[in-house]
Amino acid sequence: MQHGKYRFIVGFLVIPMTLYTLFVIWPFIQSIFYSFTNWTGLSPDFEMVGFDNYSRMFEDDIFWRSLQHSMLFALLLPLVTLSLALFFAFMINVGGRRRKGGPVVSGVRGSGFYKIVYFFPQVLSIAIVALLFQFAYNPQSGALNSTFKAIGLDDLQPVWLGDPDLALWCVMAVLVWSTVGFFVVLFSAGMASIPTELYEAALLDGASRITTFFRVTLPLLWDTVQSGWVYIGVLALGAESFAVVQIMTIGPGGPDYSTTVMVLYVYQKAFRDGQAAYATTIGVALLVVTLAFAAIVMKLGRRERLEF
């Protein structure tokens, strides 16, 4: 009976594991192999060059700048996005004042409308979001500078994406705007599953809303927050940041490589410069950084699981 059970489980796993190995694991292995070659990506011919690509990468100033920008995204984007999402979700579900005849615990007025507003960016693809904000950041006719001009701040006309000191922060603002709504809905679902008796008991004992958040809500949502941190960090290191930087910024990559991130640099080396082997080398570095980031977050965020 036990033998038949394991055969049944293996029978279900063999096809998905085969597909995963073929389309995920094998490309990683190929990339690692090509990082030791001089392959251009345009020809089947290549030769082994050992660690030359890695030596070149460590001496590449643009690589180090792209790594710095990617790490900044991975650290700050989750911090800002998750903090805003937790605040908005808490106000929507728990942060409202008690109304006469109403429940002790409730969200602010119009909480259902706010959920729709926060989630709206998720309806749009990241490419459309990047195009919309590219127009908004236009220094001549964009919405931001036009607003400054309309309220009498004619002297305050930043170049935005054309300014090396501002471009990266403009991109990060777009990423925060486009992702925070998803986590508002996610955290709202988590808060809705917390028994209201816990909130009512805390409030009746004299706890403030802030104390309730840190002593009740956050501990019970910690597993969700930790998973969200890893998820959004991987997005920041990968496709999400690539799409916004590629579409919005000059170059792309911004003035003086001010918005170049690792995944964009991989794309440029592979498809613009015909240096596929060197691109896979940077890709391997990106893989190591992503795995290290996920491992560190999971390690530092580990805490005793709370149940209710």
Sequence ranges of the domains in the chain: 60-89+118-300
In the predicted structure, residue 198 carries a pLDDT above the cut 60? yes
What is the mean predicted confidence (pLDDT) over 233-242? 87
pLDDT at 191: 85
- Per the model's pLDDT, the better-predicted residue between 2 and 240 turns out to be 240
In the predicted structure, residue 77 carries a pLDDT above the cut 90? yes
Rounded CA gap, 226 and 46, in Å?
A: 43
Considering the chain, what is the average pLDDT of its residues? 85
Between the alpha carbon of residue 41 and those of residues 30, 237, 275, the distances in Å are 13, 23, 7
In the predicted structure, residue 299 carries a pLDDT above the cut 80? yes
Residue 120's identity, in one-letter code, is F
In the predicted structure, residue 81 carries a pLDDT above the cut 90? yes
Rounded CA gap, 171 and 243, in Å?
A: 10
Rounded CA gap, 81 and 191, in Å?
A: 17
Range in 1-10, 70-79, 215-224 the model is least confident about: 1-10
What is the mean predicted confidence (pLDDT) over 248-267? 89
What is the mean predicted confidence (pLDDT) over 288-307? 81
In the predicted structure, residue 223 carries a pLDDT above the cut 80? yes
pLDDT at 86: 92
Phi-psi region of 101 (alpha: psi -120 to 50; beta: other; left: phi over 0): left
Rounded CA gap, 98 and 108, in Å?
A: 9
Name 170's Cβ contacts closer than 8 Å, sequence gap at least 6. 133, 137, 160, 161, 248
- The CATH code that applies to domain 60-89+118-300 is 1.10.3720.10
104-141 b/e (C-beta count within 10 Å ≥ 16 → b): ebbbeeebeebbeebeebeeeebeebbebbbebbbeee
Look up the pTM and report it. 0.85
296-307 b/e (C-beta count within 10 Å ≥ 16 → b): ebeeeeeeeeee
In the predicted structure, residue 114 carries a pLDDT above the cut 60? yes
- Per the model's pLDDT, the better-predicted residue between 295 and 94 turns out to be 295
